[in-house]
Amino acid sequence: MSKLPDQEPPRRALLKRTAALSVLAMTGIAGFTAPSVAFAAAMTKEQRDKMTPDDIIASFKQGNMRFREGKMQQHDYVAQKQASAQGQFPAAVILSCIDSRAPAEILLDTGIGETFNARVAGNIQNDDILGSMEFACAAAGAKVVLVMGHTACGAVRGAIENVELGNLTGLLNKIKPAIDKTEFKGERSGSNYEFVDAVAKTNVEMTIADIRKNSPVLKKAGRGRKNQDCRQHVPSGRWQS
């Protein structure tokens, strides 16, 4: 029986891969140009520490523009995985909805090791989410808490229509205060998507407020950090403040 060749040590393989990519970036070999080269490096502590919260948010907006224009970076996920194996230094923690059309890492064109990501229907906060955010910011050094909602949110629509279904009922009840707080002239129903989107915006704003109110740890760790809300326009993927 033939013996399978030994695999290269991860560090050696990563260095060779990174060196090759650097050559391609400088020379344009095989038709590659800098924007199309696969990004092998994971975010380092030095890079993260130099960034301000506004820098991080600006980079997300730039990534979202690349996504919408079809010019996303060619991430070398294997190399990024190897590069971050001994430590991670994400710049932000993102809370978003579980909607299959709302994957934050793709919509913002980020790679492995750049963001912590929590997902729950309706992008609501609870004790487990807050604990995760406290780890991300107070223990791991993330500088931005981003809550990302989206248009045409099924969880928001379910809350408006008083849907009851097992454990989902309790989750939707946490969205209902946003319904009452939303000022809207027009039909206040789940079939009116303008109203659904208005409630979704209020829900994101209230989630940010709840995070500030319910986490003394995040409040204490707040110096040099920033809370940001946004919504994703589902048809286009566009970042909406």
Q: In whole angstroms, how far apart are CA 23 and each of 19, 164, 206, 216?
A: 6, 58, 48, 48
97 is in an annotated binding site: yes
| CATH of span 42-72+89-240 | 3.40.1050.10
Burial of 205: CB neighbours in 10 Å, binned 0-12, 13-18, 19+: middle
As a whole number of angstroms, the distance between CA 16 and CA 14 comes to 5
Give me the pLDDT at residue 40, please. 58
Paired sense of beta strands 115-119 and 92-96, if any = parallel
Confidence (pTM): 0.83
150 is in an annotated binding site: yes
Give me the pLDDT at residue 34, please. 37
Segments of the chain with pLDDT less than 50: 1-37
Give me the pLDDT at residue 241, please. 81
As a whole number of angstroms, the distance between CA 241 and CA 230 comes to 5
Helices (H), the chain: 10-27, 45-50, 53-69, 77-83, 104-107, 127-134, 154-160, 168-173, 176-181, 193-214, 216-220
Q: CA 79: distance to chain centroid?
A: 21
Per domain, the residue ranges of the chain are 42-72+89-240
**pLDDT per position as a tens digit, 169-213:** 999 999 999 999 999 999 999 999 999 999 999 999 999 999 999
